[in-house]
Amino acid sequence: MATLMAPNQGMLQEGAREEKGENARMASFVGAVAMADLVKSTLGPKGMDKILQSMGRGHEVTVTNDGATILKSVYVDNPAAKVLQDISKVQDDEVGDGTTSVVVLAGELLREAEQLVGQKVHPMTIIAGFREAEAVAKAELTAAAFSNAEHPEAFRNDLLNIARTTLSSKILTADKDHFAELAVDAITRLKGSGNLEAIHIIKKAGGALKDSFLDEGFILDKKIGVGQPKRITDAKVLIANTPMDTDKIKIYGARVRVDSMAKVGEIEAAEKNKMREKCQKIIDHGINCFINRQLIYNFPEEIFADAGVMSIEHADFDGIERLALVLGGEIASTFEHPGEVKLGSCKLIEETMIGEDKLIHFSGVALGEACTIVLRGASSHILEEADRSLHDALCVLGETVKEPRVLYGGGWPEMRMARAIEEAAKKTPGKKSLAMEAFARALRQLPTTIADNAGLDSADIVATLRAAHGADPGASRMGVDVIAGAAGDMRELGIYESFKVKQQVLLSATEAAEMILRVDDIIRCAPRQRSG
Amino acid sequence: MSLAFDDYGRPFIILREQGSKSRVRGTEAVKANILAAKTVARTLRSSLGPKGMDKMLQSPDGDVTITNDGATILEQMEVQHQIGKLLVELSKSQDHEIGDGTTGVVVLAGSLLEQAESLLDMGIHPLRIAEGYEMACKVATAHLDSIATKWDFSPEEVEPLVQTCMTTLSSKVVGRLKRQMAEICVKAVLAVADLPRRDVNLDLIKVEGKVGGAMEDTRLVEGIVIDKDFSHPQMPKELKDVKIAILTCPFEAPKPKTKHKVDIDTVEKFESLRHAEQQYFIDMVQKCKDAGAGLIICQWGFEDEANHLLMHHNLPAIRWVGGVEIELLAMATGARIVPRFEELSPDKLGFAKCVREVGYGTTKERSIIIEGCPNLSAVTIWVRGGNRMVLDEVRRSLHDALCVARNLVRDNSIVYGGGSAEIACSLAVEAAADKVVGVEQYAMRAFAGKVVGVEQYAMRAFADALEAVPLALAENSGLPSIESLTAVKARQLAESNPHLGIDCNDAGTNDMREQNVFETLIGKRQQMFLATQVCKMILKIDDIIQPSQYD
């Protein structure tokens, strides 16, 4: 068997594949570029959506133009495509927006690199050029950013603009002013803490998107127990995580063994008694509302009802933590020392109706930071997409509050960076300058794509932009004005973007492109044999 | 073939089931093996050096790894061929022993075998080749010792260490930030190094990471990072000057190991059991409190009730901390690991200046950073990176750099890199081979005067094989390989300067002293020893018997 061996035959496991040199590079380029092309058409305010149908049971359908969501759902086999999938996910986790831009930029970088490789430029040289270009771009980006953090009015305006820009590429674009207000109000309530957990988003089908509103209190999607007060003013709330069904004995190995029916009855009574005592202890805290993470059975519920205490069961873990945060109480599991447990409080608890559903509304809460956004929409798909869009906007705003520098949008930062890189390329000796020019071209692809997606003459607009930036380096505010279909002043149009997001896009995309470029060999192990 | 006849002419079977076994013998077998080894080496060849390329590996489960670390590539390639596996082992043992140079050792072994092939064609017996290689290896390593320089450093003057780490890192994806990363590594190693004993326990350095941010955000935490959060969401997120109790007993109801049953048959028993249970939790927390602990770190979980009691008594706690972390924490904070609540006492507590919980980006993931421990003997390198593959690769690269720094602490001799050491050794071996008399003496001593001089060929082959490393370096850097190699070789010979190597970074000079490219002496020596040994092992095989493939 081993007498005559072609290279790699019999070296790796059966079913494994190896691609080398040019082939490997081709495979990665093709995969990465395909991935970028997939999401490319969703970029910009006139970007299109995608329908994703799951392979699982029910063939659920998602309609979205969120890059991260699309890429997450696509099953890919190409290793290079997986790299892009990963950077988009990280971008989502890290800053929440720019998930499409980062993939498109990485894809464009690789497309340019492919041509350079075709011109016999060594990948390492390309990487060196890219790194230099990245440094120039980063410096230019930092120089271009400006901050209005010291003027609250102007800063709020910036935030509104950023929110509008982010939302304009999403389904919420029709009501972007409304939602921008919503998002900015929610974020400013956080007072700079950037803790997005205090913002609760509830989705209720029905009504129109425009009917969505921000509630200054807190809304819990749960029911109040039967026969209990439906409205409490000056509520004292005990938030708990304790079993309220049957309180089991936890000592290991304990079991009940009795010899007569009467004894069974006694034990049962004791058990009931135990629960009654527990409830009494809880009531002794001087509360008029009790919220438990776990189930509350009918028996304790009845005791609470008798005592005139509102009880809410089965608030999920997230809900409990958020409630504790909002109401300013602690999550209790023992009830021996009523005086020492910190109770939560709020002005008013009442049942409200949104659409068809009853929800519990807490208003006048201790922690003024929290709020709830209630989303309304015609169908669950719209609501899901609205949720994703709003999440993006909130993330970006949260980041901007932490890092108040902003940039103009509409391809303006890309044009500036491209110009700076080209300037630097002119002064760079050697083949590296080719790679730097390529980098600049890739950056210009972003405004080009935005214009293309809007059905505009991209070549003309980008050329105009380029001329404007070239004529007035560093001061021009021209970007793609998708609505008018021409180049426009970004400040007047109010198109702003967060500096942090742009910077992360630049860094991640370059890193990913470099990573893929460095590969000259792809080895795929044989797929794991699955039984059945 | 394996059929023999006994004295009476009856056939008897030496090898059972001949039909189902395939067998290759003699030169045929050696050559097949050499071919296999060469294939593996060829895969790695392009990853050598600062301009080496990466490999993309897709695991059976579809996960992607991008790396240029030789040991990792070979490990994940799932090589099936027996001889291929030998090379995988070779690279692994270099990794375990030295931690760096895993690619180089495989390339060297591959090239030694390639040279052996042509010697076999000349009709030289494999064992003679192996003997010759052995001799050559001796000459080469002796020469290495002679060109090595001591490189002095002290905790105050760490520049030499940083330089060496930079050489290692320059071939990796972190090349862009090699200065920063090298400094982190050196600081980490020096923090845990036992300088008088010249020993470094790398277990004390944890390389942890979280996807996100940029590589620039990577930093050294002088303490420990655990990927957990406080057990109760309302516990304080930052603690200052805190006493730490480390427990390996759960905050749960007692669970005796012997099998038992607690029978409840009366109401009184039921009641008393209930109270006992409640008391048990209260006692547990009270014991921690009495000992004066300000933070509980526990290996096991908490019952909800206990959790609340802890929170109630203002005792922040972390649960489900893994065994390795527990040990590290104990070492760093000076705490004793306490297996029972009863044994908790104030003198068994550890101390930390600052414990805090940090979150990342928009996700809910959190980690706890414990800093300012009295024993600075445990540190964590906290890696950030744009995506998972970058992160993994950075971690691997840092591991290599840490190993190099450790080796230097152990033995501060260095040789210059960029292929200069290989070229110098190659020249030395050739010279030794040319001194026929000398070598013959050598050979005569080895073979009791029976054979003379065949090993010369093997030694020359060894010298040629050594050149494969600078050749690959030059090739990967896009330089005309043979031209630059011969130019450097000629200069080394003319100037008798063993520090001339391949100028991979286009820095304009071939003198590696000026470029500050070093490698550790032990690393280089180990490479040659290991490569020669594996070669010898492969050359000694003259018969491959293996079951035929199943149909």
| Residue B452 and residue B352 share a domain | no
Of A324, A341, A523, the CB nearest to B233: A324
Identify the top-confidence range among A415-419, B257-261, B444-448.
Answer: A415-419
Residue B165 within a domain: no
Is B121 known to be catalytic?
no
CA distance B471 to B481: 5
- What is the band of A366 on the pLDDT scale with cuts at 50, 70, 90? low
Per-residue CA distances from B107 to A26, B263, B441 (Å): 26, 71, 31
**Averaged pLDDT, A67-82:** 83
- pLDDT tens for residues B66-82? 888 888 888 888 787 77
More confidently predicted of A261 and B426: B426
| Chain A CB within 8 Å of residue B334 CB | no
pLDDT tens for each residue of B321-335: 887 888 888 887 888
ipTM of the complex as predicted: 0.72
Report d(CA B118, CA B120) in Å as an integer.
5
Q: Is residue A173 predicted with pLDDT exceeding 50?
A: yes
* End-of-domain residue from the set B375, B392, B423: B375
Residue A157 structure tokens:
């305006």
Identity of the highest mean pLDDT range in A272-286, B35-49, B448-462: B35-49
The number of folded domains in chain B is 2
CB-based contact B389 A274, cutoff 8 Å: no
Domain contains B302: yes
- Check CB contact of B36 with chain A, cutoff 8 Å: yes
- Out of A10, A270, A518, the one facing B53 most closely (by C-beta) is A518
Q: In this predicted model, which residue has the larger pLDDT, B174 or A480?
A: A480
Most confidently modeled of A362-371, A423-432, B187-196, B351-360?
A: A423-432
Residues in a beta bridge with B263: A255
* B367, B230: one domain: yes
Asked if A82's CB is within 8 angstroms of B54's CB, the reply is no
CATH code assigned at B299: 3.50.7.10
Give CA–CA dist A331/A340, Å, rounded: 12
| CA distances from residue B221 to A133, A280, A457, B383 in whole angstroms, order as listed | 31, 50, 53, 10
Residue B119: inside a domain, yes or no? yes
Helix (H), strand (E) counts: chain A: 16, 20
Whether residue B295 lies inside any domain: the answer is yes
Q: Which pTM was predicted?
A: 0.79
Tokens of B216: 């620039």
- Asked if residue B423 and residue B371 are part of one domain, the reply reads no
- In a domain? residue B182: no
**Which of A77, A331, A527 lies nearest to residue B232, judging by beta carbons?**
A331
Q: Tell me: pLDDT of A272 over 90.
A: no
Decide if B347 is catalytic: no
Query: Is the pLDDT assigned to residue A133 strictly greater than 80?
Result: yes
Q: Which residues of B468-496 are buried (b: 16+ CB within 10 A; e: fewer)?
A: bbbbbbbbbbbbebeebbebbbeebeeee
* B contacts of A395 (beta carbons < 8 Å): 362
Q: Could you list the residue range(s) of the whole structural domain that residue B125 is in?
A: 18-149+415-550
**The three-state (H, E, C) secondary structure of B366-385, written as one string:** EEEEEECCCCCCCEEEEEEE
* A317-344 mean pLDDT: 72
Both B357 and B428 in a single domain?
no
Selection from A81-90, A177-186, B160-169, B527-536 with the highest mean pLDDT: B527-536
| B435 plus B365 within the same structural domain | no
pLDDT at A110: 92
pLDDT-derived band of residue A106, with 50, 70 and 90 as boundaries?
very high
Task: Answer yes or no: do B360 and B454 share one domain.
Answer: no
Angstrom distance (rounded) from CA A389 to CA A387: 5
Of A112-116, B34-38, B413-417, highest mean pLDDT: A112-116
Shortest CA gap A6–chain B (Å): 9
User: What mean pLDDT comes out for the span B350-378?
Assistant: 76
C-alpha A273, offset from chain centre:
48
List of domains in chain A = 17-146+408-524 (1.10.560.10), 149-200+378-404 (no CATH), 218-367 (3.50.7.10)
* Closest CA–CA distance from residue A69 to any residue of chain B (Å): 15
Q: Give the mean pLDDT of B198-216.
A: 78
Which residues of chain B from 86 to 145 reach within 8 Å of chain A, CB to CB?
none
What average pLDDT is seen over chain A? 81
Q: Does A271 touch chain B (CB under 8 A)?
A: yes
Decide if A396 contacts A498 (C-beta within 8 A). Answer: yes
As a whole-number percent, the residues of chain B with pLDDT over 70 amount to 89
- For residue B402, tell me if it sits in a domain: no
Is B65 one of the catalytic residues? Answer: no
Do B371 and B227 share a domain, yes or no?
Answer: yes
Of B264, B312, B544, the CB nearest to A257: B264
DSSP for B54-100, please give it. Answer: EEEEE-TTS-EEEE--HHHHHHHHTB-SHHHHHHHHHHHHHHHHTSS
User: Residue B300 in 3-state DSSP?
Assistant: coil
Does B549 score more than 70 pLDDT?
no
Q: What is the pLDDT of residue A65?
A: 78
Q: What is the distance in angstroms between the Cα of A486 and the nearest Cα belonging to chain B? A: 35
Q: Which of B348, B375, B402 is the last residue of a domain?
A: B375
User: Average pLDDT in the B190-201 region?
Assistant: 79
- Judged by a CB distance cut-off of 8 A, whether residue B48 touches chain A is no
Whether B367 and B472 share a structural domain: no
Q: Does residue B172 form part of some domain?
A: no
Q: Any bridge partners for residue B238, and if so which?
A: B356
DSSP state of B516: T
Contacts of B384 (CB under 8 A, 6+ apart): B209, B210, B211, B212, B213, B214, B215, B217, B218, B391
Pair B432, B365 in one domain: no
| pLDDT of residue A170 exceeding 70 | yes
CA distance B138 to chain A (A): 32
Compute CA distances A480 → A20, A197, A354, A421, whole Å.
42, 35, 41, 20
Task: Give chain B's mean pLDDT.
Answer: 80
Res A417: pLDDT: 92
Of B271, B361, B544, which is closest to A270 when you measure between CB atoms?
A: B271
**B337 and B424: one domain?**
no
Tokens of A420: 């700076």
Query: Does the active-site annotation cover B400?
Result: yes
Phi-psi category of residue A92: left, alpha or beta, with phi > 0 → left and psi -120 to 50 → alpha: alpha
B13: confidence class by pLDDT, cuts 50, 70, 90: low
- CA pair distance A27, A79, nearest whole angstrom: 9
Q: Which of B40, B270, B280 shows the shortest C-beta gap to A270? A: B270
Confidence band of B443 (pLDDT split at 50, 70, 90) = very low
Q: Cα separations (Å) of A348 from A144, A218, A232, A328, B176?
A: 48, 11, 6, 15, 58
Contact A340 B312 (CB under 8 A): yes
User: Residue B522: which CATH number?
Assistant: 1.10.560.10
Phi and psi at residue A382, to the nearest 5°: -65, -40
How far, in Å, CA of B417 to CA of B547, rounded?
45
In sequence order, what are the beta bridge partners of B46?
none
Interface of A with B in 207-246 (CB under 8 A): 241-242
**Does pLDDT of B84 surpass 70?**
yes
Residues 274-293 of B with CB under 8 A from A: 274, 276-278, 280-281
Lowest mean pLDDT across A310-319, A517-526, B146-155, B173-182: A310-319
On whether both B364 and B429 belong to a single domain, the answer is no
Q: What is the pLDDT of residues B493-527, one digit of tens each?
A: 888 888 888 887 777 788 888 877 778 888 888 88
Tell me whether residue B170 is in a domain. no
Contact of B314 with chain A, judged by CB distance below 8 Å, is answered with no
Rg of the Cα atoms in chain A: 30
Best of B48, B56, B106 to disrupt the A interface (most A CBs within 10 Å) is B56
Tell whether B394 is within 8 A of chain A (Cβ).
no
Kindly state whether A327 is in contact with chain B, defined as any CB-CB distance less than 8 angstroms: no
- For testing the chain A interface, which of B259, B387, B394, B477 should be mutated: the one with the most A CBs within 10 Å? B387
Q: Contact at 8 Å (CB) between A412 and A92?
A: no
Cβ–Cβ below 8 Å for A520 and B55: yes
Q: Which residues on adjacent β-strands are paired with residue B350? A: B244
Domain boundary among B375, B405, B439: B375
What is the pLDDT at residue A315?
A: 66
pLDDT score, position A320? 73
Are the beta carbons of A31 and A80 closer than 8 angstroms?
yes
**Catalytic: which of B43, B65, B69, B100?**
B69
Chain B neighbors of A398, CB-CB under 8 A: 362
Q: Is A429 helix (H, G, I), strand (E, B) or coil?
A: coil
**Phi, psi angle pair for B107, to nearest 5°:** -60, -40
Q: How many other CB atoms are there within 10 angstroms of residue B371's CB atom?
A: 16
| Closest in B77, B270, B278 to A523, CB measured | B77
Q: Residue A294 pLDDT > 70, yes or no?
A: yes
Of B65, B67, B72, B103, the catalytic one is B103
B537 lies in the same domain as B429: yes
DSSP string, A339-364: GGSPPEEEEEEEEEEETTEEEEEEEE
Q: At what angle do helices B102-121 and B126-147 cross, to 10 degrees?
A: 140
Query: Helix, strand, or coil here: B486?
Result: helix
Amino acid residing at B67: T
Q: Nearest-CA neighbor of A511 among B385, B524, B180? A: B385
